[in-house]
Structures are given as structure tokens and as C-alpha cells.
A and B are shown apart, each in its own frame.
Chain A
Amino acid sequence: MPADSHRVAHDWLDNDAGPVVRPYAMTQGRVAPEGGEFDLVAFVVAVAGGHPGDNASLQPEHHAIVAAAWEPISIVELAAGLDLSLGVIRVLLGDLRSAGLISLYEPPAASQPHDVDVLKAVVNGLRAL
């Protein structure tokens, strides 16, 4: 976690002190991602063969996201792992999607009822744990 190592380096800055950089400074004040919102449990995967290093407009946080999303990872886990708030990570993900560096997979549409077979699989899975 890059943010944590920064905090350790300055012992007068602990978690209670809050972030040094105000959260939305990282997104240049943008609060909505390019190309629309996505779900908390949408999955992110880095695009194979993408070269984030070539893109000068990307910040360290963008690179950290690409590195962490080599295997599919949900947005909420990504945010927790990188210590970024959900609003901020969504904006950054929007940038990366526009740059063609990540793919986003939304969960099944909210309007769609859950498949009974899936529900049975969940029950069986929970019983087996």
C-alpha cells in the first residue's frame, strides 16, 4: 500500500490526521468518472499489452491500479487495498478505461432477477464451507 508507506515515513502524520492531499485533488476536482458510473462489485482487469508507462498524463495512483488489477479484482477491494476512496477510484478507473488500459465488467443488471440456479449454487456453497 503506497499511501501507508508515506504515512510511516512521517511519524507526526498518523491515520487520524487524515490524508495530506485532499481526496479529490488526485482527480483534479472531478467527481464523476468519464463514461458513466460503475458498480461497487464490478470487476477490473488490466488490458494485456497495455503500456501505462507511455502515458504521461497518468498519476502514480493510476499506475498502482493497473498493477493491482493484473488479476480480476472488484472495485471495492481495489479501493480498500490502495487506500483510495470509492469516489476517487471511480474517477481514476474512468480515466484508465478511456485510455484503454483496463476493462470493466459490470455485475448482472440490477433489474434482472437472480437466477434460481445461481441461488442454489450459493446455498450449496455456503453449506459446504
Chain B
Amino acid sequence: MTREELQAQLPELAPGSTFEEGGEWLNMNVDVSLWKNFSHALKFTLSLDFDYLFCLTCVDWKTHLTMVYHFTSTTHRHHLVVKIKLDRTTPQVESVAEIWRTAEFHEREVFELFGVEFINHPDLRKLILPDDWEGFPLRKDYEDPINMIKL
């Protein structure tokens, strides 16, 4: 599907979503409460068939966190970027590890580096950092005088 066709069809699946202008691919802002059903629809609607999650990450905007999912379809070759705004004090979002299994590792990485809790994740533990690590290193207000990562 072209960008315009996606833009016409997707709001039916996630009412109230907004689209961002510009960008290489279609950027869609989805409300966190809709994500569980919408993620299912993205994968299992035949005309969409977003089966390849090639990038999953998070951005700290100081006032809130934003989850960013990059999808593509190996059959239709169209792209979509989904963004979900999360509360910064208790960030919670539905896990998609059941749908795209690559998300299992990516979500564990976001969990320890940003402190986002993924609901219904099969195995939400620290992946990279030691188990007793405190704080979330990729957040903007993270300070660690011993392990300096700022230059």
C-alpha cells in the first residue's frame, strides 16, 4: 500500500490517532490504551501484514517517553513508524513479544535502559546491565560519576 492508502486505512483500526508530516515513512501516534489491539491488527490484517519489526526503541523527551516501532512488510514492502507516548514516572506499555519475537530482546533492552515496563512480557529481566544496577542510563537525567559515559 502507498503512504496515502495506509493513512486512509489505519485510523479505522486505532481511532484518534494522528499522523506526522514529513519523514521518510508514515509516522503514526497511537494512544497507549489502543496498542494491544492495534498491534494485533497490524500483523494479522492481510492487506497490512506488517510482519517485520526491524527497530524498536525509546526516546526520552524529559517530560515523557516515546516508544518508537519501525515496521515493514516482507510481502507488501510498505513501512510504518508507530509512536506511543508514555508517562515518565510509571511508563507501562503492552509487550509485543508474542507477535514479533524479536521484540523480546529489544524490550528487555528498553526496560533496563529506559525503565519502561512491558505488560505481559514473557521474561522481563535485565539483559545487558548487571542485576543490581540502579537507574536508567539512557534517560536524559541519568548521572553516574563513576562510570562516565558523557564526553
A binds B: no
Interface residue ranges, A against B (CB under 8 Å): none
Interface residue ranges, B against A (CB under 8 Å): none
